[in-house]
Homo-oligomer: A and B are copies of this chain.
Amino acid sequence: MDYSGRQRRLSAQLVSRQQVSRQVDALLVTHLPNVRYLTGFTGSAAVLLASAKPLFFTDGRYREQAAQQVRGAKVVIPRGSALSAAVKACQAQRITRLGVEADRMSVSQFQALRRELGKGVKIVPLVGVVEALRAVKEPGEVKLIRQAVELSSSLFPALVKALKPGQTELSAAARLEYLARHSGAEGMSFETIIAAGSRSALPHGLASPARLPRRGFVVLDYGVVNQGYCSDMTRTVHLGRATARERAVYAAVLEAQLAGINALRPGATCGQVDEAARRVLRRAELAKFFTHSTGHGVGLEIHEPPRLGAKGEAVLQAGMVVTVEPGAYLPGRFGVRIEDMVLVTATGAEVLTPVDKALMELL
């Protein structure tokens, strides 16, 4: 990855922001996925001062790892806190306007920073600057995402094959996660959701000690991490024969998902994609059971911009990778969700997840 190139693009952004009041000399990057994006560092404690003379601060635990990994910035292991060291560097570099990641800095950190910096430096709270760069993936990133998607998809047949009435959701998750690790995943990209029977009506039904019923839907929502990049997929299968009502809901969710994918193209707004999916469920009188947004960006984080939500005004660009994942959750009865990862291309969209979406009944 071209870390210096990313830092150059960031610097160009910082000095040329539309609102003059948002222009800064440097950005104090405190959100770890952003630090990783800009330097390659994968550890759990670091701050980057993205300036003309970029400095990377971490602690003694990461001395060796930082020396091996960090590109495009000088590594500093300060005696005191990383924030205090960054303050001294701002003064040494004569920075007068310092941007901070307002979504990713605590009130405590902000107060300490203001106190230590004194009046000579103006702190400018900014939101989503690095995230905006990250939203459009480079070819090397798309490659790693494809690998993550393919890895998780390759596990799906074994996951489904092992679903048996009486088995716990947790043991199915344990097996899936073991296979994922053995296939080379660094880990799961979020806590595995396996929600069967009436639990399928919980949009976030983490795998539990509940046992799979003889019949009913099972929502399977999981992903893996490959060299830092996440995948995310959901399929809903049915144990035994589905009823006519279950089939109808499944068909509506699938149609909504295809409509969402179909609306994905450069120039479309996030809200338009959400509406394309939501409209299908509204016609099927299921809109009130679709209680979340249609999708989200995926990359170094499992949830990152853009967010495909109602009224979302952000405009899609080629190179963005998003999920499309409408669902319908009938409280106390059952739920269905279908989710792919999709790459926005120059002309439309490419579905990355190669797993069939026809209703699967396990008999």
Indicate if A107 sits at the interface (CB-CB under 8 A): yes
Inter-chain contact B103/A105, CB cutoff 8 Å: no
Q: Does A177 contact B181, Cβ atoms closer than 8 Å?
A: yes
- 10 CB contacts below 8 A, A to B, read A59-B292, A60-B292, A64-B201, A64-B202, A102-B108, A104-B106, A107-B110, A108-B125, A177-B177, A184-B209
Give A31 Cβ to nearest chain B Cβ, in Å. 10
A221 to chain B, nearest CB (A): 12
Q: Does the CB pair B103–A106 fall under 8 Å?
A: yes
In A18-55, which residues have CB < 8 Å from any B CB? 43-44
Tell me which of B61, B106, B292 contacts A204 (CB under 8 A).
Answer: B61
Number of copies of this kind of chain in the complex:
2
Determine whether the beta carbon of B292 is less than 8 Å from that of A61: yes
Q: How far is the CA of A174 from the CA of B177 in the complex (A)?
A: 8
Q: Is A91 an interface residue (CB 8 A)?
A: no
Q: Say how far A202's CB is from chain B's closest CB, in angstroms.
A: 6
Q: How near does chain B come to A72, taking the closest CB pair, in angstroms?
A: 22
Q: Give the shortest distance, in Å, between A46 (CB) and chain B (any CB).
A: 12
Q: In the bound complex, do residue B187 and residue A191 qualify as a contact, i.e. CB atoms below 8 Å apart?
A: yes
A331 contacts the other chain (CB 8 A): yes
Which residues A129-175 have CB closer than 8 A to chain B?
A: 170-171, 173-175
Partner of A178, one of B63, B127, B177: B177
A3 at interface (Cβ–Cβ under 8 A)? Answer: no
Contact assessment for A181 and B191 in the assembled complex, using a CB-CB cutoff below 8 Å? no
User: What is the CA–CA distance of A175 and B331 in the complex, to the nearest angstrom?
Assistant: 37
Whether, in the assembled complex, A295 has its beta carbon less than 8 Å from a beta carbon of chain B, the answer is: no
CB distance A125 to B107 under 8 Å?
yes
Is A243 on the interface with B (CB-CB < 8 A)?
Answer: no
In the complex, what distance in Å separates the CA atom of A230 from the CA atom of B252? 41
With the chains together, A177 CA to B192 CA distance in Å?
14
Interface set, chain A 80-137, CB cutoff 8 A to B: 100, 102-108, 110-111, 125, 127
The 3 closest A-B pairs by CB, nearest first: A174-B181, A60-B291, A178-B178
Q: Check if A297 is an interface residue, CB within 8 A of chain B.
A: no
B107, B178, B182: which contacts A105 (Cβ < 8 A)? B107
Q: How far is the CA of A43 from the CA of B191 in the complex (A)?
A: 11
Q: How far is the CA of A65 from the CA of B178 in the complex (A)?
A: 28
Q: Which of A104, A106, A171 has its CB near the most chain B CB atoms (within 10 A)?
A: A106
Q: What residues on B are CB-neighbors of A127 within 8 Å?
A: 108
Bound together, the chains give a CA A65 to CA B203 distance in angstroms of: 10
Q: Which of these, B106, B177, B186, contacts A106 with CB under 8 Å?
A: B106
A63 touches B102 (CB 8 A): no
CB distance from A212 to the nearest CB of B (A): 16
Q: In the complex, what distance in Å separates the CA atom of A102 from the CA atom of B104?
A: 13
State whether A291 touches B61 (Cβ < 8 A): yes
Q: In the complex the two chains form, is B103's CB within 8 Å of A204's CB?
A: no
A125 and B103 contact, CB distance less than 8 A: no
Across-interface contacts of A107 in B (CB, < 8 A): 100, 102-103, 105-107, 110, 125
